[in-house]
Amino acid sequence: MKKEYIILAAIIIALSLYLAFHKSGTTHYKLPEIAGLSSTDITRLEIQKSGSTILLNRTDKKWHIGSRDYLADTAKIDKILEAISGLQLTDLISETKSYIRYDLGDDKRITVKAWQDDILKREFDIGKTGPSHQHTFIRLAGDDNVYQAAENFRRSFELSEEDLRDKTVMFFETIEIQGVKITKKDKSLSLAMKFPEIMVSTDQEKPDESKPPEEPEWLTPDGKKGDRQALDRLVSTLSSLKCEKYIEDTKKEDMKNPDCTIELIGAKTYTLSLFKKMEGDEPTYHAISSENTYPFVLPKWRAEDFMKDPGELLMEADK
């Protein structure tokens, strides 16, 4: 009996020590330390996927794409830089070199390289999103293990060159615009923002200051009133106009005889020219802008809104 008690006590002590030093859920490995990196330090990026490579360079505080130096979309680049600079490992997932199940095989992985000038600061492979949709599987350069990184960021790197291009084709401050001219085939309409003439009687020394100030109006040279709501909406839409996509292998100077031209007069003249093209039974709308180097395509609904009869921009009584 004494021996049994001694053996039982030894087992209890051993189990207590095991539980004390091997608590459930304790991590028995150390995650690699990732050196700090600010997004503002990154000057060059390389994104490789499915046999293609996208190169991005920062010049004069703006990001440009590829050898043709296309301007990149700032918001989309900011998301990429945020994911790279904020890379944070949360767990070790696999040490077995089994990459296919995590979309880290040659056909599905996305390889990212980030430089500060000529120094490679960060390199890693991006796999699929984790089951929680709050993490991403990655593999660090020179490390065979698969890790789980914080945040779901793969979609930010799945974009093509066309997706990453800045689609802004016209930009200005609306308050700057004081004149509009619209030409559609043989019809033309010009309007200027003017204050209406105030009639003051001879026996009135000064205007009645109790009355609210007059609002400016859109007026044609012969005094017809423009539709203020429609014209303000037109100017606002054009002030930050984005295209659907760019047209490759076509130069602006090759595009002549537009179906409609809109000119906005401010500190300078901003011009948008639209060309209706038939592709099968459906029309597409090509365009060029004074504020962009490349021809582009506008969505059908947007282009057709621009290409209305100029007379529709007048008040009903003046049409």
Q: How would DSSP label each residue in 275-290?
A: EEEEETTEEEEEEEET
Q: What is the DSSP letter of 31?
A: P
pLDDT for the residue 281: 78
What's residue 170's pLDDT?
Answer: 97
Q: What is the pLDDT of residues 59-82, one digit of tens each?
A: 989 999 998 899 999 999 999 999
Question: What residue type is assigned to position 172 of the chain?
Answer: F
Residue 44 is encoded by which pair of tokens?
């060059």
Please tell me the predicted confidence (pLDDT) of residue 19. Answer: 61
pLDDT surpassing 60 at residue 318: yes
Of 146, 164, 182, the domain-final residue: 164
Q: Place 203 in a pLDDT band, splitting at 50, 70 and 90.
A: low
- Which among 148, 164, 180 is the end of a domain? 164
Instruction: Pick 212 or 276 by higher pLDDT.
Output: 276
pLDDT of residue 21: 58
> What is the C-alpha to C-alpha distance for residues 284 and 278, in angstroms, rounded to an integer?
6
Counting Cβ atoms within 10 Å, is residue 39 exposed (0-12), middle (13-18) or buried (19+)?
middle
How confident is the model at residue 200, as a pLDDT? 45
Pair 187, 294 in one domain: yes
Highest mean pLDDT among 3-7, 197-201, 247-251: 247-251
Say whether both 130 and 224 belong to one domain.
Answer: no
Show the CA angle centred on residue 273, arms to residues 270 and 274, nearest 5°.
Answer: 145
Average pLDDT over the chain, rounded to whole?
89
Report pLDDT digits (tens) over 108-161: 999 999 999 999 999 999 999 999 899 999 999 999 999 999 999 999 999 999
The domain of 257 spans: 168-196+215-318
The pLDDT value recorded for residue 42 is 97
Same structural domain, 83 and 105: yes
Residue 17: inside a domain, yes or no? no
Report yes or no on 203 lying in a domain. no
4-8, 98-102, 227-231, 238-242: the lowest-pLDDT one: 4-8
With respect to residue 244, please indicate whether it lies within any of the assigned structural domains: yes
Q: Are residue 312 and residue 186 in the same domain, yes or no? A: yes
- 103/137 same-domain check: yes
Q: CB within 8 A of 218, min separation 6: which ones? A: 180, 191, 192, 193, 225, 226, 227, 228, 231, 313
How much of the chain is helix, strand and coil, in % rounded to 5?
25, 35, 40
The confidence score (pLDDT) of residue 199 equals 43
Do 190 and 240 fall into the same domain?
yes
Res. 268: pLDDT tops 80 = yes
Residue 287 has pLDDT above 70, yes or no: yes
Per residue in 79-94, pLDDT tens? Answer: 999 999 999 999 999 9
220 in any annotated domain? yes
Could you tell me the pLDDT band of residue 213, with boundaries at 50, 70 and 90?
low
Question: Percentage of the chain with pLDDT > 70?
Answer: 90
Instruction: Give the total residue count for the chain.
Output: 319
* Residue 137 falls inside a structural domain: yes
Q: How much of the chain exceeds pLDDT 90, in percent?
A: 75
Over 90: is that where the pLDDT of 238 sits? Answer: yes
Q: Are residues 189 and 160 part of one domain?
A: no
> To 10 degrees, the CA torsion angle through 153, 158, 162, 168?
-10
Long-range contacts, 125-134 (Cβ 8 Å, 24+): 126/153, 126/154, 126/157, 127/99, 127/102, 127/103, 127/154, 128/102, 128/103, 128/154, 129/154
Q: In the structure, what pLDDT confidence band is assigned to residue 316 with cuts at 50, 70 and 90?
A: confident
Q: Is residue 206 part of a domain?
A: no
Same domain for 248 and 112? no
Together in a domain, 78 and 97:
yes
The confidence score (pLDDT) of residue 123 equals 98
Listed in sequence order, the residues at least 6 apart from 195 whose beta carbon sits closer than 8 Å to its beta carbon are 214, 216, 217
Domain count, the chain: 2
Region 188-197: mean pLDDT is: 86
Whether residue 16 is contained in a domain is answered as no
Q: Is the pLDDT of residue 211 over 70?
A: no
Residue 107 has pLDDT above 60, yes or no: yes
174 and 160 in a single domain? The answer is no
Residue 12 lies in a domain: no
Whether residues 186 and 91 share a domain: the answer is: no
Does one domain contain both 64 and 175?
no
More confident residue, 194 or 27: 194
